[in-house]
Amino acid sequence: MLQRPLFPQAFPEIPFTRLFLIYMSITSGLWAVWKVFIYPAWFSPFRHLPKPKSGFPLINHGLVAFQRPAGATFLKFMNEVPNEGIIRVPSFFNSDWLLLTDPKALADVLVHKCYDFEKVAGVRQILRAVLGDGLVVVEGDEHKFQRKHVSPAFSFRHIRDLYPIFWSKAIELIDCVAAELQHDSVVEVNHWANKVTMDIIGLAGLGRNFNTLHNSDDQLIKTYEEILEPTTEKAMFFAAHMFLTRWVIAKLPWKLNQKLKDMTSALKSMSQQLVREKKELIKVQGDEHVDIMSVLIKSNNFADDMIAEQLLTFLAAGHETTSSAFTWGTYLLSLHPAAQSRLRAEIRAAIPSPSAPPPDLATTLDSLPYLHATVSEILRLYPTVPVTVRVSIRPTTILNTPIPAQTPLYISPWAINRSPAFWGPTAHLFLPDRFLDPVTQKPTSGGVDSNYASMTFLHGPRSCIGEKFARAELKCLIALWVARFEFEMADKSEVPLPAGAVTSKPGNGMRLRIRPVEGW
Ligand code: HEM
């Protein structure tokens, strides 16, 4: 019936279906011409902003976020495109993305108007499917509530109590590596870094010794690792969340749907069990538990389910980030033997025996200027989250530029941390001394004019809540590693390349030739 001509006089030969298709093709064609050519050139509110030279036609700079090292192209744009805080980065089909380059622009997005921007919905969907509604995932008022009540557990008052845990796990690490050195002087460090940071987040975050350094058979860790184990199918599954809603994906006949559902619900019930057990222990043994979970339980601000979701969040956010930072730290120090020797001397002088650290370990380690400077310089040069993305959720402004809703933005800690505009001509060099006052040798924030020149942990209400935890953990790991070992790259011609989907880790691991230094 539909094949009958609709307007026999006007279009005697054209049936309705064809007419409809012609109409759809013309309107979508016109819409595409408007969207891809006319709007960006003559109507976009960003048309006056500076932009890099055009990329490939239609693709433009759309692939920039997938290039490795992530953030390197943004640094190139910052260096080459004169700008006043915002660079327009045309993406697929000439859609507008913005790159923030200036402290005031960053402050607008991260601090003053933080809740006008959110993480990309697709990324949140993936994270929610695995971690639940923890701090990394939630937005708006729910985020304000969680952040307010989780923050006290990460205050320095509590982190101080965790130093002995970090220290004891770092000792276990060097003992394990020393045992491996009996057979081979070359060690792949990232493998060990993953294990020790997993053990640390287990003990200091969740109050549970996963014992991964000694080949754990902890079911929670096994399930967690199984979910995150990279396979092509999983990469496709997670990528699908960028284009389709979770609801649609859940309806697809994809076996991984059920498998992941089983694994994530097993993970959740294990962490709920962990919370129940911990609650019982606190009842029986009293108040001396110092791990983050115990502090959250004792605060009485969260239901058990919510604490369980935060635990998975801490596990995901606090494990690979610190592991990669430590691995890059060993790389930078392997290229700078003089820095190793200076650090070793500082640590050995302050802590004569690793197995008998001073009672106030936090104060001792935090008073070591060169350790502070080295850790800060490692975190500056290798921010383990090199790029992050935000989307405006309502019309707003950045540096008085009107920003319509749904405008995507790049924030690149890698580019900002290495920008000569902030750090001068030595921005790309490993120079811990930049974090020390040249006269007093007291720790500084790097001799830069703005806090926003260091973006490793971002700033504002959505900054890394675990920054103090991570810095303290790194201090313990770096201190023990350097004081105990002398090391260099196993293959001196190798330049390890940052890889990884969200965090930046060495793509082929980090093989170091290591020699124990006696007398400590
Ligand atoms: C060197 C180590 C670390 C680095 C470089 C790092 C970096 C970051 C960055 C850049 C963000 C913001 C991501 C975004 O919004 O796009 C973030 C958020 C977060 N980090 Fe870290 N992180 C580290 C270690 C840790 C640790 C050890 C923990 C917990 C024990 C942790 C817990 C979190 C949480 C819960 C958030 C979400 C905060 C919120 O949205 O309110 N991180 N981290």
Query: Tens digit of pLDDT for each residue in 495-506?
Result: 999 987 778 889
pLDDT at residue 420 greater than cutoff 50: yes
- Please, which pLDDT band fits residue 171 given cuts at 50, 70 and 90? very high
Q: For residue 4, count CB atoms less than 10 angstroms from its CB and return exposed for 0-12, middle for 13-18, buried for 19 or more.
A: exposed
Q: How far apart are CA 308 and CA 293, in angstroms?
A: 9
Of 175-179, 226-230, 414-418, 464-468, the least confident? 226-230
Domain 62-516: give its CATH superfamily. Answer: Cytochrome P450 (1.10.630.10)
Residue 86's H or E segment, with its range, is strand 86-90
The structure tokens listed for 493 are 């011609």
Yes or no: say if 72 and 388 are a contact pair by the CB < 8 Å rule.
no
Could you give the residue ranges of the DSSP H alpha helices within 286-303?
Answer: 292-299
294-306 mean pLDDT: 89
Contacting residues for 71 by C-beta, under 8 A, at least 6 apart: 383, 386, 387, 412, 413, 414, 415
- Please, which pLDDT band fits residue 260 given cuts at 50, 70 and 90? confident
Collapse the DSSP code of 460 into the 3-class scheme (helix H, G, I; strand E, B; otherwise coil) and give the result. coil
pLDDT at residue 225 greater than cutoff 50: yes
Ligand 1 in contact with 384 (CB < 6 A)? yes
- 201 versus 37: the higher-pLDDT residue is 201
Q: Determine which residue's CA is closest to atom 24 belonging to ligand 1.
A: 318
Q: What is the pLDDT of residue 3?
A: 53
ipTM of the complex: 0.99
For residue 14, the CA-to-ligand 1 centroid distance in Å is 61
Q: Which atom of ligand 1 is nearest to the CA of 292?
A: 30
pLDDT at residue 263 greater than cutoff 50: yes
342-350 mean pLDDT: 98
Q: How far apart are CA 72 and CA 80, in angstroms?
A: 12
- 226 versus 358: the higher-pLDDT residue is 358
Ligand 1 in contact with 417 (CB < 6 A)? no
Q: How far apart are CA 370 and CA 483, in angstroms?
A: 13
Q: Where are the domains of the chain?
A: 62-516
For residue 403, the CA-to-ligand 1 centroid distance in Å is 27
Q: How far apart are CA 366 and CA 153, in angstroms?
A: 20
* 476 annotated to bind ligand: no
430-446 mean pLDDT: 95
Of 21-25, 198-202, 285-289, 460-464, the least confident? 285-289
For residue 227, the CA-to-ligand 1 centroid distance in Å is 20
Backbone CA torsion sign across 13, 18, 23, 26: negative
pLDDT at residue 183 greater than cutoff 60: yes
Q: What is the pLDDT of residue 261?
A: 84
pLDDT at residue 426 greater than cutoff 70: yes
Ligand 1 in contact with 319 (CB < 6 A)? no
Ligand 1 in contact with 464 (CB < 6 A)? yes
Q: What is the mean pLDDT of the chain?
A: 91
Best residue for ligand 1 mutational test, from 120, 323, 464, 468 (most atoms within 8 Å of Cβ): 464
DSSP state of 519: -
pLDDT at residue 510 greater than cutoff 60: yes
Could you give the residue ranges of the DSSP H alpha helices within 391-459?
Answer: 413-417, 420-423
Yes or no: say if 5 and 12 are a contact pair by the CB < 8 Å rule.
yes
Ligand 1 in contact with 86 (CB < 6 A)? no
Ligand 1 in contact with 202 (CB < 6 A)? no
DSSP state of 64: G
Q: Determine which residue's CA is closest to atom 17 belonging to ligand 1.
A: 464
Residue 233's H or E segment, with its range, is helix 232-240
For residue 276, the CA-to-ligand 1 centroid distance in Å is 26
Of 89-103, 282-296, 440-454, the least confident? 282-296
Measured CA angle at 185 (ends 180, 190), to 5 deg: 65
Which residues pair with residue 436 across a beta bridge?
443
pLDDT at residue 149 greater than cutoff 60: yes
Q: Count the Cβ atoms, other than its own, within 10 Å of residue 158.
A: 18
458: left (phi over 0), alpha (psi -120 to 50) or beta: left
Q: Determine which residue's CA is closest to atom 39 belonging to ligand 1.
A: 462
Q: What is the pLDDT of residue 413?
A: 97
Q: Determine which residue's CA is closest to atom 18 belonging to ligand 1.
A: 464
For residue 150, the CA-to-ligand 1 centroid distance in Å is 13
Q: What is the pLDDT of residue 250?
A: 84
174-188 mean pLDDT: 96
Q: Determine which residue's CA is closest to atom 5 belonging to ligand 1.
A: 384
Of 26-35, 158-167, 463-472, the least confident? 26-35
Query: For the whole model, what pTM was predicted?
Result: 0.92
For residue 39, the CA-to-ligand 1 centroid distance in Å is 37
Residue 71's H or E segment, with its range, is none
pLDDT at residue 12 greater than cutoff 70: no
Provide, rounded to the nearest whole percent, the portion of the chain with pLDDT above 70.
97
Q: For residue 344, count CB atoms less than 10 angstroms from its CB and return exposed for 0-12, middle for 13-18, buried for 19 or more.
A: buried
68-88 mean pLDDT: 95
For residue 516, the CA-to-ligand 1 centroid distance in Å is 33
Ligand 1 in contact with 388 (CB < 6 A)? yes
Q: What is the pLDDT of residue 233?
A: 83
Ligand 1 in contact with 131 (CB < 6 A)? no
Q: Which atom of ligand 1 is nearest to the CA of 146?
A: 41
Q: How far apart are CA 115 and CA 232, in angstroms?
A: 35
The structure tokens listed for 79 are 């260096």
Q: What is the pLDDT of residue 222?
A: 82
- Please, which pLDDT band fits residue 1 given cuts at 50, 70 and 90? very low
Q: What is the pLDDT of residue 8?
A: 57
Contacting residues for 318 by C-beta, under 8 A, at least 6 apart: 197, 201, 205, 466, 469, 470
Residue 208 has φ and ψ, to the nearest 5°, of -130, 130
Q: How far apart are CA 254 and CA 256, in angstroms?
A: 5
For residue 216, the CA-to-ligand 1 centroid distance in Å is 25
Of 12-16, 81-85, 370-374, the least confident? 12-16
Q: Which atom of ligand 1 is nearest to the CA of 384?
A: 5
Q: How far apart are CA 428 and CA 435, in angstroms?
A: 15
Among candidate residues 398, 295, 269, 163, the one with its CA nearest the CA of residue 261: 269
Q: What is the pLDDT of residue 10?
A: 58
